[in-house]
Amino acid sequence: MKIQISFIFWVAVLVTACVPTRKIVNKTINHNYQNLTFTPEQVKKQSIGKVEMTITPIDAKVLNQETSDAAKRDGNYEKELSLSIEKSKRDLDEMSKEEKAFVQGRIKAVNAVSDLVKRGEIPTAIGYDLQYRIWYGDEYGRDGTEVSSLSEIDNFPDNFNPFKINDKFLSVFKITFENKGSEIEKFNVKDFQITSGEEQLYPLATEYFEENLKNEPEKVKNAYRMNMPMELTLTPNQKVTKYIAVPAINPSNKELQVQYIKDKSVLNFDFAVSAKVMNKSYQVESFDIRSETFHDPSRYDYFFAINYSQGISYAAASTRVFVSEDKKVTPVSIYGIAIENNSSRKVYFGKNENFKFSAVLKNLVKVKLSEIKS
């Protein structure tokens, strides 16, 4: 009996020693950004014929939602991923046994997520996030400290926004044309110019997007959809919205003017510009996500996605996420995929829906994962 007790005690000590100690991390995240305000917000004027023209300066980031929605309608999310997967399939014969098993496991998991979305087990947006995280690995994912993760409103990806080039947004103006007459009217992009202080800028033609977005065909497609064409034709009673973009304007210039010049007449759309540097601090705390049924990072690869009730969602870059005080009391759901690291490459799925981080004990969120049967 003494030997048995000693053995059990020794095993218990050994197992306890092997379990890594989780340290809860608290930190302050500071985000600084510049906010431009235009006064008035928009200007409407009568242009040629009986066409009313309304010009509104906008933040190019607001077009992330429109371009993302367009991508979903066109199937571009699936298309981009499918092209990458098909390329990997063609390269399978050149891979080592381990590399081939790794890629096949990822393909199996991506396909499993597609089936889960179709069955309504996962929201569509979360399905995209999980698929991109699974396929692109560490290139895709957040930890909860980003501006988009801490925001109180939904943030859409900018993958398909043509007005973001080389990681920088252009200055964009929304123009709504409404032909209230009975004649066909035409507008040329070359008839517009923007004056900011002593700087004069001209709208970027579609050819600019074609040249600078050669490797991003879906952005080019949205440029065709949204950017002001060389010539816009308006039929009677037609209302159309287009966008003109210029290199980022200098925020220190207090006055901005959009001009429409036709023959010898000039139509001025005047705006006052004010720039304000905004500072916001967030207190965030770490939470770890674990499989309730099994947790062995040496044997399984884990992928989780976070979905807050107010719309914010993202794929977690790891099994640790940071949560702000506001987000702690916001209902949230977590969806998870695990891939077994052996020849079987079994795929598991689980979810923990509609809970609050504030109610989680010891900052450890558990998700029950079950094997997805073929």
Taking only the tens place, the pLDDT of each residue in 35-47 is 889 999 999 998 8
Q: Considering the domain 33-69+158-278 in this protein, what is its CATH number? A: 2.60.40
Domain coordinates in residue numbering, the chain = 33-69+158-278, 73-154+281-371
Mean pLDDT of 7-29: 56
Per-residue model confidence (pLDDT) at position 5: 30
* CB-based contact 172:194 (threshold 8 Å): no
Mean pLDDT of 165-174: 94
Q: Which helix (H) or strand (E) holds 3?
A: helix 2-18
Q: What is the dihedral of CA 131, 133, 139, 142, to 10 degrees?
A: 130
Per-residue model confidence (pLDDT) at position 48: 76
Question: Could you read off the pLDDT of 102-126 as tens digits, one per residue?
Answer: 899 999 999 999 999 999 999 988 9
Q: Is the pLDDT of residue 373 over 90?
A: no
Query: pLDDT higher for 316 or 96?
Result: 316
Mean pLDDT computed over every residue of the chain: 88
What's the pLDDT band for 153 if we cut at 50, 70, 90?
low
Peptide bond into 40 cis (omega under 30): yes
Per-residue model confidence (pLDDT) at position 21: 59
Q: SS3 of 343, please?
A: coil
Tell me the two tokens of residue 61.
């980031």
The neighbouring-strand residues paired with 252 are none
